[in-house]
Structure 1
Amino acid sequence: MNRLILSVAATLATFSVMPLAHAGVSAGEAAKLKTELTPLGGEKAGNKDGTIPAWTGGYTTPIPGDKPGGTRGDPFKADKPLFSITAKNVDQYADKLADGTKAMFKKYPDYRLDVYPTRRSAAAPQWVYDNTLKNATRAKMNGDTAEGAFGGIPFPIPKTGAEVMWNHKLRWRGTSLTNSITQWQITADGKPVMTTDGIADIQMPYYFQDGSPEAMAKHNEYWMIRVLNIGPPIRAGEALTGRLQFDGAKDQAWVYLTGQRRVRKLPNACCDTPTPATAGVMSFDEIETFNGTLDRFDWKLAGKKELFIPYNNNKLFSVKDADVLGRFPNPDHMRWELHRVWVVDAALRAGQRHQAPKSRYYCDEDTWICVLGDRWDANGQLWKTLWTTNFVTPDLPGTVGGSMGFNDLIAGTAFIGNLYGSKPAQYVVKPRMADGTFTPDAMAGEGVR
């Protein structure tokens, strides 16, 4: 009898630490996406103070001076800053700043946020709205994996932190596109060193209009990327191909190194492993604030709050890299706005390991981009603060992730990536690319020898 009791207790204990399956919301709750919520799940109304306006459809008008397939304009270039937050007045705004942002003021007295009028520019095609409504009732969490979703935000009315993070991973950013980017490491003495001058082809099968939840379940892949480095000279000719799957354990990535003249499969394209896409400066799960699997952490939804975050930064498209680079992006060329964000805490799961056992993410309610993230080290010190800014692309339409990076608050180093200002073509929307584009064979055939 005692053995039976112990066996049952052990079984219950096992289930208590396993991630549970969570089903979608009811049809009645999903109907809010047609009334009080935006079609992607944000609160449609503004805030009580009037500092956050109501969402009225986003920005879908062609930008004057915008050249699809070329350079992009700034739809809000006439806006002037409402005020600036500096080390002298930061305490006045502390309740609307992330921990990492406040730490930046302490470490760098010349750090500054120019706060502009809030523009709720987020938008998406109608078919994405339609799929988001369907996902609200059909998508579910099976452990750490999202299932049953397709072609829209999977959990527009989230109930858990894991659901918010999947919204970030599966956010609308177009189906097929090409980016030309530069990326820079900032040394502890403030010197910029180029890590990547590259061309990236990106495709999201999750947003193929002829797809379905059944197709997603069968093929499992939701995101693909191929990066070819054209510089700096020491890295010219290198290439990286990656394919992400709902089951993160099956993510795949390959790298082509010119010195070896061969393609190699990366053994662990995940989590806190350094990624070749940034010359090892950032880990895989720090790209665009978070880009990892969820199975190493327990995720807690801490609610919503109003926060100053980088937003609508089309102005970065017209600025040369040299004018942006420093210990942090030049405040003269960064736009910050007040928005509502979901706050998600990540704590290292029992039995797992990670260099950052605790993290906190701030995810925009309108775009679902986790625009800010803070990470603590094993000693409990605030270690890194991560950021991703977005920009308006009416030709999608959408407001999508752009430049990103982080500051190491302990070592004093930094990274500023995905800069477009020196490029003649910026976030080019393309027709659907062949699946063979994102294979190691294709990368081997195009590699520099």
Structure 2
Amino acid sequence: MKLSIKAIVAAVALGVAGTAWAQVSPEELEQLGTTLTPWGAEIAGNADGSIPAYTGGLSGAPAGYDSASRRLLDPFKDEKPLFSIDAKNMAQYADKLTDGAQELMKRWPDFRIDVYPTHRTIFQTEERADAALKNAANPECKTSEDGVGVRGCWGGTPFPIPKTGYQAMWNAMLRGDAYVERRFQNHLIDASGTRTLVNDSVGYVEYPYLDQAQKPYEGRGIYYWRYRNDTLAPTRDAGQRNLLLYPLEFDRLDSRVWSYTTGQRRTRLAPEFSYDTPSASLAGALFYDELSLFSGRMDRFDFELVGKKEIYIPYNTYRIDYTPVSEVTGPKFINPDVLRWELHRVWEVKATRKAGKRHVAAERTFYLDEDSWAILSAEGKDDTGKLFRVAFAHIQPNFQGSAIVGSGAGFYDLTKGQYLLTGYVDPKSGYVKIDGKNDDRLYRSESMAGSGVR
């Protein structure tokens, strides 16, 4: 891999040298593959060693892994916490805690985070790393003038050295595994502490953008994300289908969203399934643009790249999917015993609602993992500046040979006093299938009705 990186850097640096409007300078480009990974993370650890150097990630299966199980195995199941943080000692660690984490500690004295040794487990294939290098050096790989669309990029991180908040957010939206089939559950815990199964589903995810065999920006290649959700339970909702197609050139193309309901037995276009429209399939507890903590068009906010910082964040959270949901969900928050928090470097992006635009959030903050570009935490403030939404992703790096990760999340609605557990892979029924390729017919609207009738 090192030889490939050096060859690419040498070749593209020649092309960048005379190009005034390239995203990165020749000097910056030389950092990729030397002091930075090809996708832009700092290779070195931090000053006190609490964040180790990046050494390639988790590129092989842990001992005892059974490929037939279709479940990710926890390689750190025997590790113990280094220390814990709660309301009593949070001031000592305030510089490494998000506002959201501190708010949860203030509200609930028994809320805590258990901090474990940091492991930089994200693995990138050589193909994906090479694509990131080519994107960085390609002057045609850029966002639209307003940042809302992206073009000229393909196959890997588009902006390893981001210059704007829009570029960083595109890095987040264009990361993932090329093809994933996942059976998971979503549970709502209301203000009284009652847990309700909102949705038991099979989700089919693909990122055509990450498929090197796909011709860029043609056919299905006009979309960066195609997602289909088939509901299995509860009984009243079984058979419902949703299909979302999100384009790369969001500045000139719109998303395509279809919904099939068993009661009507028809498939309809659902353009309203966007922005801050509450998702009916998630009991209205999640906005459509909160999928993966953020997804969709970025035209209602100004996205500012604040900078990089070190924070404690849920990471390598394999344990949660090996624990019965009755032990995962507490009456006010997710059981601290099933979550693993680590110190990682993140990019902070602040989104401020544009004048004249409508959205329930006036301001949003996103924290993006430097190693995976996944959004690890998101926060929302209302028009009074009050924090009303806090979310943490449960990141589970994949060691099965493809690039990044599948994960669930915890979304806290501070106004209603409830929270939503998403993407939970139940120990008995859930699974994650990352190898192979999803059938293209899954992503055609005409296929939804026939498979959705119960």
TM-score normalised by length of structure 2 = 0.90
Q: 1:122 to 1:61 in 2, by over 3 A?
A: same
Amino acid at match of 1:358: E
Distance 2:299 2:28 in 1: 28
Instruction: Provide the residue aligned with 2:40 in structure 1.
Output: 41
- What are the equivalent positions in structure 2 for 1:231-242 lying under 5 Å apart? 231-242=233-244
- What are the equivalent positions in structure 2 for 1:77-92 lying under 5 Å apart? 77-92=77-92
Amino acid at match of 2:336: P
Shift of 1:313: 0.8
Structure 1 residue matching 2:32: 3-state secondary structure: helix
Distance 1:401 1:301 in 2: 25
Q: 1:228 to 1:400 in 2, by over 3 A?
A: same
Are 1:121 and 1:399, in contact at CA under 8 Å, matched by a contact in 2? no
Deviations 1:354-399 (A, max 9, x none): 0001011111100001100110012211110011121122113444
Shift of 1:244: 0.9
Q: 1:301 to 1:357 in 2, by over 3 A?
A: same
Shift of 1:53: 0.5
Instruction: Provide the residue aligned with 1:5 in structure 2.
Output: none
**What are the ranges of 5 or more consecutive residues in structure 2 without an aligned counterpart?**
1-20
Distance 1:128 1:181 in 2: 27
Instruction: Provide the residue aligned with 1:141 in structure 2.
Output: 143
Shift of 1:425: 4.9
Distance 1:424 1:273 in 2: 30
Shift of 1:78: 2.1
Query: Which has the higher mean CA deviation after the structures are superposed, 132-141 or 427-436?
Result: 427-436
RMSD, matched Cα: 1.8
- What are the equivalent positions in structure 2 for 1:276-355 lying under 5 Å apart? 276-326=280-330, 327-355=332-360
Amino acid at match of 1:49: D
Instruction: Provide the residue aligned with 1:13 in structure 2.
Output: none
Instruction: Provide the residue aligned with 2:73 in structure 1.
Output: 73
Instruction: Provide the residue aligned with 2:268 in structure 1.
Output: 264
Deviations 1:221-263 (A, max 9, x none): 1111111111011211111111111233510111111111111
Instruction: Provide the residue aligned with 1:18 in structure 2.
Output: none
Instruction: Provide the residue aligned with 1:210 in structure 2.
Output: 213
Distance 1:275 1:135 in 2: 34
Shift of 1:201: 1.1
Shift of 1:416: 0.6
Amino acid at match of 2:363: K
Distance 2:189 2:22 in 1: 44
Shift of 1:23: 4.5
Instruction: Provide the residue aligned with 1:31 in structure 2.
Output: 30
Find the partner of 1:194 among 177, 183, 197. 197
Are 1:316 and 1:421, in contact at CA under 8 Å, matched by a contact in 2? no
Distance 1:136 1:76 in 2: 34
Query: Which has the higher mean CA deviation after the structures are superposed, 260-269 or 342-351?
Result: 260-269
Q: 1:283 to 1:382 in 2, by over 3 A?
A: same
Are 1:369 and 1:401, in contact at CA under 8 Å, matched by a contact in 2? no
Amino acid at match of 2:339: M
Deviations 1:278-317 (A, max 9, x none): 2322001111211121111001111111000000111122
**What are the ranges of 5 or more consecutive residues in structure 1 without an aligned counterpart?**
1-21
- What are the equivalent positions in structure 2 for 1:38-437 lying under 5 Å apart? 38-69=37-68, 70-138=70-138, 139-142=141-144, 143=146, 144-171=148-175, 173-213=176-216, 215=218, 219-248=221-250, 249-326=253-330, 327-437=332-442
Are 1:177 and 1:427, in contact at CA under 8 Å, matched by a contact in 2? yes
Distance 2:389 2:429 in 1: 32
Shift of 1:277: 4.3
Are 1:71 and 1:424, in contact at CA under 8 Å, matched by a contact in 2? no
Shift of 1:212: 4.7
TM-score normalised by length of structure 1 = 0.91
- How many correspondences in the alignment? 427
Structure 2 residue matching 1:242: 3-state secondary structure: strand
